[in-house]
Structure formats: C-alpha cells, structure tokens
Structure 1
C-alpha cells in the first residue's frame, strides 16, 4: 500500500514537532541533554495526544549517534533503523493483546541481554493498564532494578488502573488535550505540505469534532480532503461530520425565541433531511447558546466562538435575549442531552425537547430590571388567587387546632395506615399452597438457570418492568406455575396488579426461552417464609414417612455422624 494516512505520514519525528505538549517535551529535552533520564516513564493522557509518538522520539534520542542532544538527528543509522523498524532493540508491545504473565516473563528473561545494534534497549508498552495483576507483579522487580542498558516507557489512557507500586517506580508525564489553536496550526502545516487549502471555519469544526486529539483531527482532515476537491470547505466538513451550519442554528434559535412552533419544526425537519443527526443537532445547539452567552458577557471574545457567527442579526438577537432565558435553555438542553443518549427514537425526543423550551415571551425571558403593567384580566385572576389562598390558610389553621385537641387520633394514624396497606396487598395463600403440593425441584432449577437471560430480555423490552423485578427471585415451581418472591412489598403489589403488563412480559419471555408456559404467582419475601413453614408443617403432620423419604441424603448422613440437637438445617 503506497498511500499512508495523514496521522502516520505526518507523525512528528522531533520533540519540536509535538504540538501542544511543550511542558513535557522541554523536560525530556533537558534530561536528554544532561544525560539524566530515568529508567522508566509513564506517559498518560487522552487518546491521540502524542504519547506513543513521544516514546519513539525518546527511543531515537537516547540511541542517536549525536547523543547527548536535545533532539534526534534522524539522519544516522540508529535513528533511521528505529524509524523504519529494522532495529530490534526498540520493542513496541500492545498490552491490550499481550496482557498475560507469560509475555511479561519473556520480557523479564530477555531484558538482561545487552542491545545488539544501539546503546539502549527500549520497551514501549502501549495501553499498559490492560495488563493483568499477575503481569504487573512480574514486571515489578524488573522496573525496580533494571539493567543499565534498558529503558521502559509505559503509555496509557487510564493511569488510575495502574498499581501504585508500578507508578512509584516511574517518572510520570501527563499529556493534555490539544488546544484549538494547536490543532488548527498543525492542520494548516499539513495542508501547506500537500499544497492544499481550507476554510478557517472548516478547520475549527474538525478541531471541535476531534475533542483535543491530534490523531482524530488528522484522520478527519484526511477524510475531508478525500471529500473535497483541492480545497476543504466549511460545507464539506459539515456534510462529512453531520454538524449544522451557523445559519441553520441561528434560524432554529430565532424561531424558538419568537415562539413560532411551526417554523421551529420546519427548520428542524430541513436539518434532519440534510443528514444531521439529532444528537449532533442538540450538541450544536448547546454550543450555540454558549456562544450567545459568551457574547452577551464579553462581546470582545468573538474568536472563542465554537459554532456561531457574530453578524448583525446575531448581535441584535443577543441584545433581545435575556440572560435568564439563555441560562434556562442551556440547563434544559443539557438535561435533554442525557435523555437522548438512552432514547430509542432520538428524532422524536429532540422534537419534544425543543417543544418543552420556553419562548422569549415567557416569564423566564423577562429581564428583572424591566417593570411591566399587569393587564386588567390578569389583575382579576390575581385577586381571585389571593382570596383562595386566604381561605386555604384559614382552613389550615382550623385543621391544626383540631389536631392539637385530638393527639390520640394522630398517634393511631400510622397503625391505621399500616392496616390499610396490609389490606391492599392480597397474597393468594391457598393458590400458592396448591402449587407447592405439586412443586418439583427440577422445575425450579430450570427457571433459576434461565432467570438471568429472562431478566436481560425484559430489560431490553421494558426497562420499567426490569426495575420492578430486580429485587425478586424464583423460589418454587411446578409444571405449569412458578412463585416469585419480592424483597419489597410495593414491587410485589405492582406485579400482582399487572401494572405495565409485567406478568404478561415475564410469562411471554419464559415461554420463548424455555418453550413452556408458566403461570406467575407473587408473594412478599417475609410472607413466603411463613407460607413455606406452614406448608412443611402440614406435610409432616399428614405424612411423617414421606418426610423421611424426601430428606436430603447429605442431611441424613449428617444425622448419623452428629447428634441431631447439634445440627442447624437451613434451606
């Protein structure tokens, strides 16, 4: 394959080319120049920020024929060999796929041998947090006392998963997310090298979509170049990433501000028909209102806008919109974004979220510094409300007096409520006793073995039913029925009343999984113990011989060895 992806073709080969990590590269350069580098490093940070790149530059710098130097020369045989992978003394290991003890033991056995082609043997272990506990333990002693000719560089995106015993033996460097300026500057450099151009807004959109990762930014730029014809335009990036244009967002927000519901939904329909994802539209709206608030508080900071454009209509809109309304909209959009993540129909949820937002003529949009006269009709309504409030206050005062005069009634209230609750929860004791008479252990075991799959199916079909059943478990079963015991009475009542069709869902899922139809019975956990003990007592009274026959073999053997009064048998 002759073509290389941009993030590979333009991978930095010197510390000076590593964008946005000057706080790290300067430290490493000084250590190299003074020959005071450590035997082990941990490079941590978000994806695509240059961890593995810096590790390879470090491997070249310590083995360069011009060392000690702040930068590798990239011309000598050592630098060239490390760059093309022909020198076997620089070993890069992916811990995600080589995370066992055997792989680390192999490193520990080979680390004592001197390098064959360069001065230092360098081990770059990527995604080191994926190593198993045994692998970390195998690596521990080697990191503590490595040979003089070995350097370890551990790269990870999740440093909190690395044991502290490993971290304490390494120098730790935190790579940070790239700033927008660093991303745009690097992309402009790549475009100049390729004799291409791009709109500034297009590069900013790519930078925002990359979320601070240089590799992601260059991958998106590579895709945009293929989509464009010599010039990366803002429209091309919007189509490629699914982002909405500033004009479309401004139109959407303007109709929302004016309370024009029909225009709002038509604008949203146009955006969705152009291929914009609902999640992306909502995210862009949040950024747009952020830009509105930023311009309202600091008009001179237009260069920090994410999606908006500071044209005259935008400035007029900012003047009309109140700060309270903007903040309320941002809060509502943020909550809607969380709901949208778990929704099965994102388009409908986005429409509902936008329709719930208040227009500018609502109270939230009224500036507190502007006084408004209340119309006569509203004044009458307010007067009636004041009268009703006064009447309610008077009635509440009378109720308080009656309660003070009769404290015994109040003291009896909890017991009465308890009795009412007890009456509401009706347990089909007789039906459960009949089912227990024909219950079989193999039927119960079959249902228990399948119960995890049953709950998973119910969770996918109806999350509310899954939440109701999470504290329940099968406790008995016959050929045509099974009993479900609930930890909480309210959950038992909900299923018994078949709210949300929970019973139907359970029986349907069991029929699909086990191929048999079971009738569902429900009982609270506490009452189940009482019913079970009563059933066992009745069975013993009617058939003591059957009890001995049905006794578990292990219990019978225990009674032969240990006196019966010493035994405590639990189900």
Structure 2
C-alpha cells in the first residue's frame, strides 16, 4: 500500500486480541472527548453561524453525544434546521426524546416526600405525552447524582442542581443507586411504564434516611420521658455509685418495659466489648427491683466470678446506656441434687420368647457426692441432674 495509507483495527476489547497481533502493531487508545471540549466547539459553531442558543440546551446536546464530537455537531445541525436556528432547551429535549424538566422534578419531589400521588401524576403525564420511560428514569438518575456532586463541591454550582437543604446529601447517593437497579429491571420488561411505577412505590415504602428517622424517634421518646412523673426520680438516682451486693434481697420486683429495652441495648454494647461475658448474661435471669437496682441470677459460680472480674466494664457500659449508675445484685440460685433412676428392663409380653441371660436391674445410686467425688466441680459448670444406668449379668 502507499506510504500515506494506515490500516487501523478498532476494537473495544483489546484484552481479547491475540498476543501475536498485539506485538506487531502500534496500540492507540481512543478516548471519548470531554463534555467541556464538545461544549466549547458547539458554542463556537453557534457564534459563527449566528444561532440563538441557550447554554443548557448545548449542554444537553454534549451530554447526549457520549463523547462523540461528530454526533454532537450532527445533532446541533438537525436541531437548528427544525427550530428556525434557535437552540432552546425545550426544543433540544423534544428532539432527543427527553421529557420536560418538570416531570423529572415532580418525580424527584415525590420520592423524597414519599408522595405516591405525585409519582402517579408524573407517570400519567409521561405516558400521555408518549415520553420514553427509560429516558425519564435515566434523566432522574443523572439529576440526583449531579445534585449530590454539587453538594459535595465536586461540580460547579448549578441553581437547578442544588439539593434541598433539609435532605442529607448521602441520601441522594443511595437514591441514585436504587434508580440504577430500577433501570436494569425496566429495561427488559414487557410493560416498562407499569414496572417503573411499581418500583418507585417500593422505594418510597422504605424510609430513605433511616438515621434521621431514628433521631426523630429518640427525640420523641426523650420528650415523652420528661413528661412522665417518675422522670425527676430517675435524675436524682444518678448520684448513687455502683455497688456489687452478693446477698439476695426479698424486694418485690417491678415491671419495667423501659428497663428491658435498656438491658437489650446494654447487651448489644457488651457484645462488641467482651463476647464471653455477653454469653453469660444473655442466658441469665434479670429482675428489675428498682430503677437503679437490678438483680442478675447466673447459672453457676464460675459465671458469677467472671462477671465480678469484669464489673468495671459492665458498670461503665450500663451507665453509658442508662445514663444512671446501676446497682447490681449477683446471685446463683441453688439447684437441688436429684438423681433419676431409669429402669431399662424389657417389659414382659404374653407369648414372647424366653428371657435372655442378660438382664437390666435398677441400682440405687446413693448420694452423688459420695459416689462421684468430681460431682461438685462438674455441677458448678454444668448444673443439672445425674442419670446412672448399671448393667448386671444374672
């Protein structure tokens, strides 16, 4: 071939080209042209051709070209010929199949406010005008993503892309991810409009900002607790110091739903600090005698000793959860040493075969402390009953 002829093999999967070809060729990576460069070129063409244009309209053309300069210039030429040389945003959106921004904004507000009526109204408007549903969801996804980037200072500020002030910016990032999933679902649906609308309803069913919801609930619980008559008593109990008392007291336990919730919250905090003590306390019995006096019945002396060793940690976590210094009463209920005797002698049946030479006979086990010297140590760790079976030949 002539010297000025260059053969170019174009591929989007260079990793699949055999090494024998790659080693004998020069490799050039073709990159998409930046949106800013395309925008500058479109502005230059409009000035030279004396087109009346809007910056938002040219930006939409540059975004739709996906980095291809020739596609952007061709689209600009087509729009100018059909719109009497006026490049306006509404004309560009209509030519490229985009819905008006009002539809996008209505969907966005409906998702944030969890307003099913607004979402249905936006979909009805889009279906009535014949707009492509996938394009609308992509526009909404891009709008939400740009709002998040603007809020973080990554993109230049745009008055239309400013997120609402009372919305956590990272909620927008989560919403953009959910919209990506909806796009994947709707893409292969036989009824894209209905599938997209149902997907939007499922999004508003789950609160987007769980953190704000939790704070609101905690604030409501705090205000309710202050209105209760016993709130002043709980504040005065904060002056008491944590005391470990091993003697059980004959006080009448009181019912405390709030105490049970605090106990569960304390166990979750203890799980992160020391899982061994958590395992002991999760299987124990808790009795709320007073607001700042709790009784814990453990299963063995070993568990009690381990809890005593970690009393400082337990007291610190309880005080951080309850905001009151709690007095703990530890005890181990005494278990009676009982022996169950089991007779395994076979029942005689009428007309059965003769008795075998080997028989089972019940034997009195007596006192387990005398027959089993290690019983006390074992019973501390594994409290329970002893079942003993002896086999005796006749």
Aligned equivalent of 2:326: none
Alignment of 1:217-228 (within 5 A): 217-228=72-83
Distance 1:258 1:248, change over 3 A: same
Structure 2 CA distance, aligned partners of 1:324 and 1:180? 25
More helix by share: 1
* 2:99 and 2:131 in contact (8 A); partners too: yes
**Residue number among 33, 49, 55 corresponding to 1:178 in the alignment:** 33
Map residues 197-216 of structure 1 onto 2, 5 A cutoff.
197-216=52-71
Residues 1:385 and 1:338: Cα distance change in structure 2 (over 3 Å):
farther
User: Is 1:301 aligned to 2:170, yes or no?
Assistant: no
Q: In the aligned structure 2, how far is the partner of 1:288 from the partner of 1:360? A: 21
Corresponding residue SS for 1:124: coil
Q: After superposition, where does 1:17-416 map in structure 2 within 5 Å?
A: 111=1, 120-125=3-8, 128=9, 155-298=10-153, 301-302=155-156, 309-311=158-160, 315=162, 317-358=163-204, 363-364=209-210, 366=212, 372-374=219-221
8 A contact 1:296–1:319 mirrored in 2: no
**1:537-556 equivalent positions in 2, closer than 5 A:** none
Query: Per-residue deviation at 1:347?
Result: 0.4
Shift of 1:208: 1.0
Q: Distance in 1 between matches of 2:152 and 2:215?
A: 17
Retained in 2: the 8 A contact 1:278–1:347? yes
In the TM superposition, residue 326 of structure 1 has moved relative to its aligned partner by 1.9
- The answer (yes or no) to whether the contact 1:324–1:367 under 8 Å persists in 2 is no
Residues 322 and 360 (structure 1 numbering): CA distance in 2 closer, same or farther, change over 3 Å?
farther
CA–CA distance in structure 2, aligned partners of residues 179 and 253 of structure 1: 28
- TM (norm. structure 2) is 0.52
CA–CA separation in structure 1 for the residues paired with 2:115 and 2:19: 58
Query: CA–CA distance in 2 between the matches of 1:245 and 1:372?
Result: 41
Equivalent residue, structure 2, for 1:473: none
Conserved? CA contact 2:79–2:92, under 8 Å: yes
Structure 1, residues 432-451: CA drift from partner, whole Å, max 9, x if none?
xxxxxxxxxxxxxxxxxxxx
**Aligned CA distance change for structure 1 residues 363 and 204 (closer, same or farther; 3 Å):** closer
Give, in angstroms, the shift of residue 365 of structure 1.
6.2
Contact 1:225 1:231 in 2 (8 A): yes
CA separation of 1:161/1:362 partners in 2, compared to 1, >3 Å: closer, same or farther? closer
Count of residue correspondences: 240
Greater Cα radius of gyration, structure 1 or 2: 2
**Cα offsets for 1:304-327 (capped at 9, x unmatched):** xxxxx515xx64x52111134323
RMSD over equivalenced CA pairs, Å: 3.8
Give, in angstroms, the shift of residue 216 of structure 1. Answer: 2.0
Residue aligned with 1:122, SS: coil
Distance 1:187 1:221 in 2: 8
* Residues 1:365 and 1:231: Cα distance change in structure 2 (over 3 Å): farther
Partner of 2:144: helix, strand, or coil? helix
Q: What is the Cα deviation at residue 361 of structure 1?
A: 6.4
Cα distance in 2 for partners of 1:361, 1:156 equals 45
Query: Equivalents in 1 of 2:50, 2:27: separation in Å?
Result: 39
From the superposition, tell whether residues 187 and 169 of structure 1 become closer, same or farther in structure 2 (CA, over 3 Å): same
Structure 1 range deviating more: 185-194 or 253-262: 185-194
Distance 1:227 1:383, change over 3 A: farther
> Is the partner of 2:27 in helix, strand or coil?
strand
Q: Which runs of 5+ in 2 are unaligned?
A: 229-256, 268-281, 285-394
CA deviation after TM superposition for structure 1 residue 173, in Å: 1.8
Contiguous gaps of at least 5 residues in structure 1: 1-110, 129-154, 304-308, 396-571
CA-CA distance at 1:188 after TM superposition: 2.3
SS in 1 for 2:109: helix
**Cα 1:363–1:180 shift into 2, 3 Å:** closer
| Alpha-carbon distance in 1 for matches of 2:85, 2:201 | 42
In the TM superposition, residue 218 of structure 1 has moved relative to its aligned partner by 2.0
Distance 1:239 1:367, change over 3 A: same
Q: Is the 8 A contact 1:282 1:337 kept in 2?
A: yes
* Inter-partner Cα distance in structure 1 for 2:67 and 2:110: 33
Aligned-pair distance for 1:362?
5.7
